[in-house]
Amino acid sequence: MQLIIYRIVYPLLWIVSKLPWKLFYAFSSTIFFLIYYIIRYRRNAVTENLQLAFPDKSLDEIKKIRKEFYKHLCDMFLEMIRSISISNEEMMERFTVTNLDMIRELEAKGENIMVFIAHYASYEWSNVIDIQTGFQAVGIYKPIGNIYFDRLVHRIRARFGSRVVPNRDAMRVITEDQTDDSLSMYGLAADQSPKLYKAMYWTNFMGIKVPVFLGGEVLAKRFDLNVYYLKVEKIKRGYYEATFVPISEDSKNAEDYTITKDYLRCIENQIRNKPQYYLWTHKRWKHRNAQIPEGATID
């Protein structure tokens, strides 16, 4: 059944990826109307998340952010599909990086880096960085249930030469990389909610005490990787600008949890500035009232 669904849907996705840009975004607006007004996809969850994160905002303000978020969500999903056929040149025109010189300096020194990414603006197009430096980009991701669509997502995210590694294999892959002279840039998004039995570190995110993934910090400290946050901003429809923000250049000696907390503060600043570009459909705060596991660190 999974294969049948994939074979039906993929040709449609390919056609969408080839549409002229004006028609492409007109199609996105149509999808928005269906998702927001007809299907009402996760509207209650989005409203609840926004009210938790912005308790001082009125319901009208929340609804305005919610509507703008869904417009962006549809654009972002279709832009990921666009990656099936978009050219390198067009991608670099639409997703620019302000301070690649800093990354090229690390490249010249032969220093591997860890890049924390948020589910904000266009995290799917950030792999274009791979064709602009000598680093081998390695994206760490969580596989999806349908194996055929998982392979498609894998292919899209590896579109510009990135290696894509399931999160369960991250430690092994990075360990193997350190045994040779390869120059790697590891990218991962760690701003969603871990499973409760793995929730061993709790801290504030948007003023709410929740569990947080520590895997990125653990990997960075173990392998003494330079740590950066990729701050992506949406400039206008279909155009993004990214900046590498230093978090730690001495991760091995960084105090425990400071890398993770600095990463969260970077995300919070963006959310507070333009909340419509964060991924509000995920139930990020679902464990806020849960029983904290024994032995967990609460900060």
> For 12-39, how does the pLDDT look when each residue is reduced to its tens digit (9 = 90+)?
877 888 999 999 999 999 999 999 999 9
Whole-number average pLDDT of the chain: 89
d(CA 100, CA 107): 10
Residue with tokens 């990218």: 187
List b or e across 208-240, with b for residues whose CB sees 16 or more CB atoms inside 10 angstroms.
ebbbbbbbbbebbbebbbbbbbbbbbbeeebeb
Residue 100: half-sphere exposure toward Cβ, Cα within 13 Å: 14
Backbone angles phi, psi at 160, to 5 degrees: -110, 20
Mean local confidence (pLDDT), 110-114: 89
* pLDDT for the residue numbered 137: 83
**Average pLDDT of span 43-67:** 97
Mean pLDDT of 236-253: 95
Asked whether the beta carbons of 66 and 43 are under 8 A apart, the reply is: yes
Domain of residue 221 covers 2-298
- The rounded distance, in Å, linking the Cα atoms of 223 and 245 is 20
Residue 192: name the closest of 116, 273, 115 by CA: 116
In this structure, of 166-175, 233-242, 244-253, 277-286, the range with the lowest mean pLDDT score is 166-175
| Rounded average pLDDT over 47-76 | 98
- In percent, the amount of the chain with pLDDT more than 70 equals 92
Total structural domains in the chain?
1
Output the six-digit token pair for 212.
Answer: 């947080």
C-alpha angle 160/129/136, rounded to 5°? 70
Distance (Å, whole) CA 177 – CA 158: 18
> What's the mean pLDDT in 229-246?
97
Q: Rg of the chain's alpha carbons, rounded to an integer?
A: 19
And the tokens for 265?
A: 């503060």
Q: What is the pLDDT of residue 144?
A: 64
pLDDT digits (tens, 9 = 90+) for 87-100: 889 999 999 999 99
| Residues in Cβ contact with 186 at an 8 Å cutoff, skipping those fewer than 6 apart | 112, 113, 114, 115, 138, 140, 170, 174, 219, 225
Model pLDDT, residue 16: 86
Q: Give the span between the Cα atoms of 12 and 31, in whole angstroms.
A: 14
pLDDT in tens, 172-198: 888 888 777 778 889 889 999 998 888
Tens digits of per-residue pLDDT, 117-163? Answer: 999 999 888 888 888 888 888 887 777 666 766 676 667 666 676 78
| DSSP strand pairing (239-248 vs 226-236) | antiparallel
